[in-house]
A and B are shown apart, each in its own frame.
Chain A
Amino acid sequence: MATDNLAEKIPDFNSSAAPKGGNGPVDVTALASIRRAKGFKEIISVLALAVVVVTLLEFILIWSNTEAYVFPKPTAIIQSLFTDFSTLYREPLIQTVQTFFLGLLIGSTIGLSLAVLVTLKPKLDIFISPYIIILVTTPMVALIPFLMLKFGFGITPRVIAISLATGPMVMINSATGFRRTNAELIALGKSYGATEFQLFRKIRFPFALPMIIVGFMVGSIFGLLTAVGAEMVGGGMGLGNRLIYFSSLVQMAQFGAVLVIVATLGVGIYSFFTFVNRKWASWDV
C-alpha cells in the first residue's frame, strides 16, 4: 500500500533506543504490538469481513441441517443476548466482573510492590523469583478445590486465585521494566543530585511504565481466565458457572451467548490497556 511505503521512508531517529525484547521469563509483550486497523476504511473492511464470516457460518449451519445442540446458530445467540440479557446474563456478569476487579486490585498491588522491592533490594530477587516462576507456570484454577475447602463457597477462594494469577505477571513485567532502566539515565539523575526517590519517580518509573502496562494487560487476561475457570469449578456464581449450567442443559444458544460475553470482556481488557499504552507510553512503541 502506498501509505505503508511512505511510512518506511520517514527516518526513524529512535532506532538506537533501549533494546526491545528479552523481557524476562514470560515474554508476552508481543500482545501489545499486534497491528491495529487504522482509519475509517480499514475498520469498515474488518467489520465487513466479520459480518461475512458470521453470515457464512449461519448459512452453513442451515444448509447442513446442524442441530442447535451440536452448534448454535449465530442468530440464535444474538437473539438470546438481546432478549435474555437482564434475566439470564446480567447478574453473573456483574459477579464475574466484581470478583475479577477485586482479585486484580489485590494481585497487582502486591505484584507492583514486590517489583519495587526487588528493584531497590536486588539481592532479594533470588529468594522471591523461584516462587514467582512457580506461580506464573501453575494454573491457579487448580488451587480452587483446595481453597474452597479452606474458605468455603463464597467469593474468597476465587479472589485469591485471581490475585495469584495476576500478581506475578504484574511483578515480573514491572521488575523487568525497572531493571531495564538505562544506567546512564540514572547517572544523569545522580549528577543533578537526585535522591533515590526522585530517581524512582522521575526516571525509573516512567521508563518502566510501558512494561508495567503490559504486565497489567497480561495479568488481567490471566486473571479473567482464572475467574471464569474458577467459577466453572464451583461456587455457583458468575459466567463460568453459567457455562457449565447451560451446557449441561444443552441450551447451546445461551451457552454461546455467555461465551460471547466472556470474549467481549477479554477483548475489552485488551483494548483498554492498548489505549492506556498509547496514551501514556507511546514513546516506547
Chain B
Amino acid sequence: MTQAIRIKITDVSKIYQSETKTVEAVKNFSESVKDGEFVCVVGASGCGKTTLLWCLSGLHPVTLGTVHIDGELLTKPLPDRVGMVFQDSNLLPWLTLMQNIELPFQIKKKPVNHELVEELLEVAGLKGFENSYPGELSGGMKQRGSIVRALAQDPEVLLMDEPFGALDAFTREEMNLFLLKVWEQTKKTIVFVTHSISEAIFLADRVWVMSPRPGRLSRIVDVNFERPRHIDLQFEPRFIEILKSIRKDVEGSKARQGN
C-alpha cells in the first residue's frame, strides 16, 4: 500500500517554560501518520501525549522541529483541515446542540452544511435532541455532540484528546463503537490520545507508546485485527497479549522515572 502521508512529525521537541522551572514535555519526536490511519497515543500520565496532540493542532507552537500537514508546514491552527475534540465535550452551555454545531460555521462565516449535519446527527443517535441544551444531555450524548461538531467541518484530520476519559466504562465502549463506525464511513485520519491501553488497541491501526520526561516515542505497535471490530475482541488472547506487552512498557517507563 502506498498511502499518502497526512501528518509528518520531524524531530519535534516542546519545552514549557514557567518562572520557576523548565519542563521538556516532548523530545525528538519523529513519526508520520498515513492518510486514513487511526493512530492511538498511550503512555503514563504526564508523558507528553496531550502536549504532542496540541502541537499537531497548531494551538501550541513547537519549540524545535517541524510538523507538516499534507506537506504544509504547520504554524497556526488549520480550521478547515484539522478538527479537535477535547476531554470535556466543550459544548457551550448557553447554546442548543444545533447552535453548538453551527458555531464553527459562523466563526468561519460559511453556510451550514445541513446535509452533512443531519447525516452525522443520525449516526450519533442525536436526532430529536437538536434543540436540547447541553445541560439536558448525558455525558455520552454531549461527547457525541462534540464529535459531530468537529466532523461537520469535514476536516481531513481529527485530533482527539482523551475524549472518553471522563465517561463510565459502558458509555465508553459505546462511544468506541460509535467512533469506529464513523471512522469506517468517513475514513478520516485520526490521532487519538488516551491513557487506556485497551481502548487504544481496540481502536487503532497503530499504537504509539510514549515514555515520560522527556516525552519520547518508545515503541510503535501495529494492531492488525480485522475490521469491523467487535466489542468481544478485548477478551481474546491475541488482544490481551498485546495489552500485556504495552502495559509492561508503560509500567517500566514509570518505574524508571521513579528512580
Seen from chain A, the residues whose Cβ lies within 8 Å of a Cβ on chain B are 13-14, 16-17, 182, 184-185, 187-194, 198, 202-203, 206-207, 209, 281, 283-284
Contacts and interface: CB of A to CB of B under 8 A. Distances in A.
Given A13-B135, A13-B137, A14-B135, A192 B94 contact: no
B106 A188 contact: no
Contact of A192 (B92, B93, B108, B137): B108
Contacts of A193: 77, 79-80, 107-108
Nearest to B87: A184
B95 to A, nearest CB: 8
Contact of B90 (A13, A188, A190): A188
Most chain A beta-carbon contacts within 10 A, residue among B59, B88, B93, B104: B93
A283 B133 contact: yes
A191 B108 contact: no
B98 to A, nearest CB: 15
Contact of A188 (B84, B108, B138): B84
Interface in B89-135: 90, 92-94, 103-104, 106-108, 133-135
A199 to B, nearest CB: 9
9 contacts: A14-B93, A14-B135, A184-B87, A189-B107, A193-B79, A193-B108, A202-B106, A209-B94, A283-B93
A16 B77 CA distance: 28
B233 interface: no
A133 B89 CA distance: 37
B166 interface: yes
Given A193-B79, A198-B107, A283-B135, A187 B94 contact: no
B79 A184 contact: no
A17 B79 contact: no
Contact of A13 (B82, B139, B153): B139
B183 interface: no
Nearest to A12: B135
A194 B106 CA distance: 10
Contacts, number: 66
Contacts of A190: 59, 77
Most chain B beta-carbon contacts within 10 A, residue among A187, A192, A198, A283: A192
Contacts of B77: 190-193
Contacts of B211: none
Contact of A185 (B79, B87, B92, B107): B92
Contacts of A192: 77, 79, 103-104, 107-108, 153
Nearest to A185: B90
B135 A16 contact: no
B153 to A, nearest CB: 7
Given A16-B166, A184-B90, A283-B133, A191 B139 contact: no
B57 interface: yes
A222 to B, nearest CB: 27
A75 to B, nearest CB: 48
Contacts of B104: 192
B103 A202 contact: yes
Most chain A beta-carbon contacts within 10 A, residue among B107, B108, B135, B166: B107
Given A206-B92, A283-B93, A191 B59 contact: yes
A12 to B, nearest CB: 8
A89 to B, nearest CB: 41
B239 interface: no
Contacts of A191: 57, 59, 77, 79, 82-84
A261 B255 CA distance: 72
B136 interface: yes
